[in-house]
Structure 1
């Protein structure tokens, strides 16, 4: 009766080995697309043409580099396991929005890089859990407005980059909680100094002048310094960007939109992506992912062959018994 027992043990070992192989496929040395240090607390997935974030990033990761990829959206829970993260690089991607709650579990995060994406707006409480954040880059996006209170919890923040966006004004009191701020960059925004919404920013700049670096860089659309704006200059009541409503000019769908939608049709490849350890695919796999899948499937076929042999071995001894 020892034969079937040994075969069953062999089956368990093979299954465990295959699961381990699939989970370890993140790092290059294991056949994955990312580079990991020996402790796997630093994971570099930058410049891999990724359209989705790997789901099997080790929970002990403290530094995660995802810059210079093709990420256009994030799952709301994609970082929820990574509570030890201190550095997160998401810059130089195609992100258009950030889902509510995506950073809620990153309570130890120290630096967050979001520059050079396509963000047009931010959820109101997107940074509320990042109470240890000291560095935040939002420059070179398409932000048209900031939510009220968006920085209220960032009392440890020292550096904030907002330059090269589409900001015309900021909400009353938006910077008041940034008690540790030492550097801010506000230039290359179309600050509208004819509207009285600009008066808060102008007053705040004057109050912080000499204590916060780069604060004088904000200039109006007519090149006048924001800090020099007075109530007389900004006498108009203007509608802020986040309260305007776009009126459709046509009911006909442009051909270009239809064409773009064709390229965004999701491919039914859930099992394929689950095996690779990727979440929410919305494009066909990239070349590195395909290379990883070929390697993975070869390993899978070998495991299945060995598993089949073990099962036949079990049946053989059960039949004899």
Structure 2
């Protein structure tokens, strides 16, 4: 009876080796597509011209960086086996939409970076499972609106960046649950006003950017924002930078006499188009994401880039890794047949 037992043990050992070989192939310096640091459970797949998510990312990965690729879409289950992730960065890709449920398994995620993509809209509830999220950037996309309640579950969020989109209006109560928020960036959008009470729940706010929006100071909708800025002046940084679209007057200086008109809600009007040129202030937006050299970010994660890039960057393993996997598969198959042979004899 020892034959089948030994064969079963051999099968387990070979299967484990096969899985280990597959994970190693993802990060091998002589041909694997990504750089890994096992000590810090971090994987960097940046600058690899990826058009699809790499496979075999270890399930215990905590930091996954996919910046500067060519990802246009994500599968709904792209991250469903990566529930240990605390940081996910997808900056500088070509994502046009996010599938519903794509982040549902990332219950430990603290930082999500989606800057510099081509997102035009967000699915309702796409962030609802990210209850531990503290940092979210959607800057430099093409968002024209936000779904109602999109941030309601993100009660631990401290940093939210929405700059350099095409937001024409904000849904009522969109920030009501963000009582821990300290930084809110909304510069360079197409906002003409904000709903009354929009910022009343932001008791922890210390920095807000509202400049480079076409604030309509002729309508009385602007009076809430003007009063709020005056009250927070001196306590919230950069708050004075918001200026009216006409006349270059500061929003905080607007009075009821200035804003006497009862205008149509900005939700039903066409926003004033912004300049086709990028304002100098955009340079500040997500500066630590865009301006910090890649090697510095890699140093933060605790690993270094491979000595050279693979000839085919989207191959997930080298030739040697492939041959090793094939050998492991053949041995595993032989072990299975061996087990069946002894069981049949028994």
TM-score interval for Structure 1 and Structure 2 normalised by the shorter chain: 0.7 to 0.9
1:203 matched to 2:227? The reply is yes
Question: 1:215 maps to which residue?
Answer: 239
Farther off after superposition, 69-78 or 167-176: 69-78
1:232-247 aligned within 5 A: 232-243=257-268
> What is the TM-score with the length of structure 1 in the denominator?
0.74
1:2 matched to 2:2? The reply is yes
Residues 69, 92 of structure 2: 8 Å contact kept: yes
> What is the TM-score with the length of structure 2 in the denominator?
0.70
- Mapped to 1, the partners of 2:144 and 2:104 lie a distance apart of 24
Q: 1:297 to 1:97 in 2, by over 3 A?
A: farther
- Mapped to 2, the partners of 1:194 and 1:299 lie a distance apart of 71
Stretches of structure 2 that go unaligned for 5 or more consecutive residues are 42-61, 271-311
1:42 matched to 2:53? The reply is no
SS in 2 for 1:7: helix
SS in 2 for 1:38: helix
Give a deviation string over 1:30-84, Cα, whole Å, max 9, x none: 9453644623233332223334385267433323322222222223333333333
Task: State the Cα distance separating 1:170 from its structure 2 match.
Answer: 0.8
Task: State the Cα distance separating 1:298 from its structure 2 match.
Answer: 5.5
- Mapped to 2, the partners of 1:56 and 1:24 lie a distance apart of 20
Q: 1:230 to 1:134 in 2, by over 3 A?
A: same
Residues 23, 56 of structure 1: 8 Å contact kept: no
- Mapped to 2, the partners of 1:147 and 1:45 lie a distance apart of 31
Residues 182, 211 of structure 1: 8 Å contact kept: yes
Residues 28, 317 of structure 2: 8 Å contact kept: no
- Count how many residue pairs are aligned between Structure 1 and Structure 2: 279
Q: 1:34 to 1:202 in 2, by over 3 A?
A: farther
Question: 1:309 maps to which residue?
Answer: 334
Q: 1:169 to 1:294 in 2, by over 3 A?
A: farther
- Mapped to 2, the partners of 1:299 and 1:76 lie a distance apart of 38
SS in 2 for 1:43: strand
Question: 1:101 maps to which residue?
Answer: 125
The Cα RMSD (Å) is: 3.1
1:116-155 aligned within 5 A: 116-155=140-179
